[in-house]
Chains A and B, each alone.
Chain A
């Protein structure tokens, strides 16, 4: 077995659960999430870091999982779209708002959008329009033209403020 194929053991916390895996050094984080862990909510759109469909939270910060190797995530905390649900697996506030305002069509960019929006709202539950645009400025959507996505985030923000 070549050096490139030798597996390396990593340990990381994914959606609140600590897991240990042996992965090839060249395995991308997005492929690890999808192919090793079957967390299929993380989508791959371009594999060169432009579209944002593969966005996840790494220690609370949105990153592109296609641009990171799995081994680089060793010791870190990861949240994927599956981890945004409530403990009973029902959709969280942001996910409910995206349904109420129909902030999607084909659903392919949606997990990445949700991740970027979650990072924004965690830090700021009263964002301006420009702050929302900046937060999702790195996530491409080909279906919606973004209007209903922005409205979904605004709806979620108002519900979060109401909930305190």
Chain B
């Protein structure tokens, strides 16, 4: 990597190429894919959180004109395998439809296929299910202790995972510290909730014996899971990845939906499409995120230096765990945040309850963990009467300490945390903000400033799975890029995965253009289908700039090498004496002695006699980038590099609270952000601010609520509250660049954006506002009725 070189396209404001199709209504989402003779599916949800299915009467529905088929779980289970779970839990059989028993409100009990979606929904009303309701398990702490009332009786308990990790000498650090404190923090059941629901379309082709699928997905193991569930070979499924995904931020998994349409298409020999309606999506799809109780103890000295931390995290995974338990393990990559904490004890527990299953959400467990870490730091500051900035300055890792290895083994690649924090404070106008807060308080209002300094691990890696399950020896998390140059010299970059708003096409074109010195607007970018794709792990884990970006740079390098070899052969000069400039290759000492890009391409495709001996004809390159720091198993103390790159953010919001209603208004917000080299400034800024808005939602409004009987209360957008433009303040943002030494251009991850810090920052601000009343809230979302009750009754 050469950080000093002059960049032409990277880090320059340029249009995002995806935007044109979106503003003209030409985006191609799964709902826009039209195949002849397509039939439409609708699902029947369970009204009970836990019930035995005694019988399902489908005859009346099947008799309805236009209905092709009604499928129940019992029929489906005869022909397919349970969906493979992340952890090996052989007694938990997860099928796309309930089999014999429903485990949460909204679980799909049957699916109808009809000529159109209206008829399919009519038919749902004609299905009669005889349920025997049973007592549900709703509270996660009760679920943990429970021995009789089990979500999955065959499993023997409600505990999906219970692990203890110890990194460093926690006992002696606690014994040696001046003081310690403990607290409980509760992260509410919220999620990303894209505006597009999940959709899938499948077409079984008997002639080729290939199942084509178009789906609104963002998921690394999608095709593998479909194949294993349907019992097909992997190469029997062709996922079309050139569909635009209408938002995902982690949740668009869609495995059960896709298995259903795939199964039905083969059964009926017609294309089958299932587009979730919002009710099906909120209650029974891939919607819910982490729901976590932290019990934390911190040991620290009187000067505010934090020595050690003990964390117990109990997470409610809902009825079917999928990859949910791993959201407890990924945060191990940054379990001490940006702070020099000497030792860590971490107890991680995942339980199941009779709720909709938890799916991966933006940050994969990092946002709740950051919320807890920042609360720990704030609580220590308050306990010592120390300023919240001062305690951070005393504990932050310093710029000369990188790469910095934390107790669980990850090395943070680079950073300058004190400078970025200062940039955030300067941007916020911190002194004036303090004066504004104090003036508001003097006028009898509740006002507070939030501080959060948090990390965004980026790049992915699956090694956290091994920490939970040592049979999962997965030490790569690669991403491939292919570059093809055609006989005319046009360049096409090929990615092997979908995109869901992160602008991957722009990012990839920018890097290819930078490396090949060609205007990125002249480079075409396409998404291959899964049968044509190089290895990919999909756009999760804030990884595409790091991984696909570095793979693109690698592939471009191979293209350049090939062009240089062809030129060296034809110009009769050694490569070292040649210079590459915008595709033309010339003799450094005799610039007129050159080969143009068109000539190179002609030789590659047409003039085999002019190719160097042994070179294959044609002009293409593939590069598969291995995740930096991957390839290692944990040592005997469970120490390992989890993610490779660590971005940093400093958040400074200002809030006021109406003491009568408890309503929190976020009036100002400053964020300083360092993700290394920014490839496209507009894209990064959008994800930072968008993530931040999403974090404000998680902090103040959003909740998938259940009552004590397990009934679901948040099935619509009128109940699950998401911030509109009126709830989001005017955000001030500033970038800082500490390049990563591990990537092609110094870039780090930014897709998880402000979401990893905003909930912590808003909580910090609300607690600052409540502090003069001697009150504190440590539960999200901080909805107005909670705060009102706290202010007026002293309880939540």
Contacts and interface: CB of A to CB of B under 8 A. Distances in A.
| Size class of the contact patch on chain A | 35 or more
B579 interface: no
Interface string B219-260: 000000000000000000000000011111100000000000
B18 interface: yes
A17 interface: no
Interface residues of B, number: 58
A102 B196 contact: no
Contact of B25 (A24, A80, A141): A80
Given A48-B278, A102-B683, A145-B731, A107 B693 contact: no
Contacts of B34: 38
Contacts of A40: 25, 29, 31-32
Identify the interface centre among A27, A43, A101, A143: most chain B CB within 10 Å of its CB: A143
A81 B682 CA distance: 23
Given A45-B278, A102-B16, A142 B195 contact: yes
Contacts of B692: 145
Interface of B: 15-16, 18-27, 29, 31-32, 34, 116, 118, 192-197, 244-249, 277-278, 500-503, 682-683, 685-687, 689-694, 716-718, 722, 724-726, 728, 730-731, 754
Chain B contact surface mostly: loop
Contact of B23 (A26, A39, A46, A104): A104
B23 A142 contact: no
Contacts of A143: 247, 501, 686-687, 690
A91 B246 contact: no
A98 B19 contact: yes
Contacts of A98: 19, 23
Contacts of A85: 24
A34 B31 contact: yes
A110 to B, nearest CB: 5
Contacts of A133: 725-726
27 contacts: A26-B118, A40-B31, A41-B27, A43-B196, A43-B246, A45-B195, A45-B196, A47-B278, A91-B20, A91-B23, A98-B19, A99-B19, A102-B685, A105-B501, A105-B503, A105-B686, A108-B29, A108-B194, A108-B247, A111-B25, A137-B725, A139-B725, A142-B192, A144-B690, A144-B693, A145-B728, A148-B689
A150 interface: yes
A114 B23 contact: yes
Contacts of A35: 116
Interface of A: 24, 26-27, 34-35, 38-48, 50-51, 53, 80-82, 85, 89, 91, 95-96, 98-102, 104-111, 114, 129, 133, 136-150
A110 B244 CA distance: 13
Contact of B24 (A82, A101, A146, A147): A82
A135 to B, nearest CB: 9
Given A40-B25, A48-B718, 8 more contacts: A50-B718, A99-B16, A101-B682, A106-B196, A107-B23, A109-B195, A139-B724, A145-B689
A81 B24 contact: yes
B686 A144 contact: yes
B685 to A, nearest CB: 7
A108 B717 contact: no
Contacts of A104: 19, 22-23, 501
A80 B744 CA distance: 43
Contacts of B16: 99, 102
B717 A81 contact: no
Contacts of B21: 107
Contact of B717 (A26, A38, A136, A140): A140
A115 to B, nearest CB: 10
A164 B685 CA distance: 31
Nearest to B193: A142
Contact of B195 (A41, A48, A141, A146): A141
A2 B476 CA distance: 59
B725 A136 contact: yes
Contacts of B278: 45-48
Contacts of B691: 145
